[in-house]
Amino acid sequence: MKRYLVAADADQIQNLLFRSSHLREVIGGSMMLSQFCKEETNPALAKIIADFHGNVIINDGGSFRLTLGSDKEAKDFLECLADLFREETGGTLTVAGPIEYNDGEFRSKNETLQLELLNAKYYRTGAETEPQLPVSAFCTSCGIGLAAQYARPAWELPGEEKTYLCNHCYDKAEDKLLKAHFFYQDYRDAIKKKHAADFNKFLENPKDPAELIGSLDATQYVGYVLADVNGMGRHFNRRESPEDLTKLSNDLTAALWASLAAPIPDLIKRLRERKSGERELIEKLENRMPIVPLILGGDDVLALVPARYALDIGSRFGEEFEKHMNGITIGVAVIICQKHYPYTLAYERGHKLLEQAKKHGKSLGTQKLSAINFEVILGNELKVSAEDEVGKEKEYHSSLKPYWIGAKANAESSESSHAGIHFERILHHRLALKNIPQKRLHELRRFFDPRRLNELHKDKEREEWNKGFEDFLHRIKPESWASALESAIKELGPWRNIKRWPKKDFDPATGLLDLIEAWDYAYKLDKPDKDYQPKESRA
């Protein structure tokens, strides 16, 4: 039977979602995108054909794949969908097709359609402008669109002042309030399904995510978890029928929600164990979401999590995803920063780290593994991007990031160990080294500081570094934690003989520096916080 295959993808989704001044509007944008995919696809079809049941293959996360009965119906639908998307969201769609196919040709034609879509996005032409008048007010949220509303952007927050908003930022704020139930209900359903036996708590919709999650840490820090599936386009192209492709899309969404729901009971348990001084605060937060999904659509995830457990949550997320998707791997990045740090900068830096994690996951050739990358942003520092470092001479990098995560990495440890180590070692040695004094941690950081290592050009300078490090190990030998540190040095780095400088073409990398960087945020969820309390030390 002859059919016509079409595709559409939202352009610059991150720009569409992040073109706002408040994190709550980002959530509203994510809700808007999700609801458009679910609720507007069939109405668009209804304008073109009378019977549209069975035409939709995928409509999630800003991606659309459909089949129609004729070339004209397919072209009319794409035009209608693009117009409706721009009207409802202020964004644009790139479309591809129609491509004719018969029974048994779906896989090959779907691959051709995907290539056509990628080419259309890459070679997109034409200019798009916003109408602007010098006597008009601009939106105080995005700063781009013309103001069309004078309203409170968040009605649920007391004391919120009225301001000028464009229609799209106003719609995001409205969707955040009116459609939150539908967005978060998928999350609540995933939590109940995952933990039906021991979890029946109703988690309220978060009003101000940054304030909520920031209040769970004494330093007011939060963690952003970003994730992206490895090679999802390849998996989609291998489907033999529209039904297989629909099932894969549905399974993917369910796996992402389930993976985000997995840590919830242990996290709530840890919050309940907080000291009595925080009891009143914890009781107020007990029915709130301790992990807040900000974006979840297609194969992309962005979530806000408590800083103290951010790394373990990110690692668990990757492991759970592998289980649910039968070994399909994923890249994860975690950014830890102050709750009021600009979320756009945090996301931009996290996306760079996510690209590194995904590249690391593919570094073994045909063997694909899940990987995690992370960074702690102190205060208001602005991290240098990879593009800013282009053209510089090669420097020593004392970090071992990214790290392997997931069951596949454990199973293939012998093959993957030469290219990195498993993240579980970082979490293990954080607990094993709980008694090491902060003074000694600072000394170790100075030894492996990249700036210091980059200055060691001559043999004499390297010999002095070796001698200083040997003296340090000798001084700490009587301490009770010395053997734990020696074990960490051996297991958190590719070089085993710590008394001899590596070859010139070998970076003196060690995961010890990564552990020190993440010291306050490498707590495991299955261990009570009291287990991390240090005993008295002579140092």
Three-state DSSP class for residue 47: coil
- Name residue 183's beta-bridge partners: none
Query: Can you give the length of the chain in residues?
Result: 539
Contact 163, 155 (CB under 8 A): no
Three-state DSSP class for residue 464: helix
Q: Are strands 330-338 and 370-376 parallel, antiparallel or unpaired?
A: parallel
Return the structure tokens found at 502: 């590596």
* pLDDT value at residue 390: 40
- Name residue 221's beta-bridge partners: 338
Does the pTM surpass 0.85? The reply is no
Q: 186: exposed, middle or buried (C-beta count within 10 Å: 0-12, 13-18, 19+)?
A: middle
* Average pLDDT by stretches of 10, the chain with 539 residues: 87 67 64 77 84 82 87 90 83 88 89 88 61 62 70 60 74 60 78 74 77 85 94 84 89 92 88 64 68 84 93 95 90 94 88 92 79 88 50 54 84 60 92 92 84 74 82 89 89 55 53 89 92 68
Task: Scan for tokens 């397919």, then name that residue.
Answer: 74
Q: Own/partner pairs for 67-73, CB < 8 Å, 24+ apart? A: 67/3, 67/4, 67/5, 67/6, 67/242, 68/3, 68/4, 68/6, 68/98, 69/3, 69/4, 70/4, 71/4, 71/98, 71/100, 73/4, 73/48, 73/49
Return the structure tokens found at 335: 């950014």
CA pair distance 209, 215, nearest whole angstrom: 10
* pLDDT value at residue 140: 67
Return the structure tokens found at 132: 């602007």
- Name residue 333's beta-bridge partners: 226, 373
Q: Can the peptide bond before residue 402 be classed as cis, meaning omega within 30 degrees of 0? A: yes
* pLDDT value at residue 125: 58
Q: Are strands 330-338 and 56-60 parallel, antiparallel or unpaired?
A: unpaired
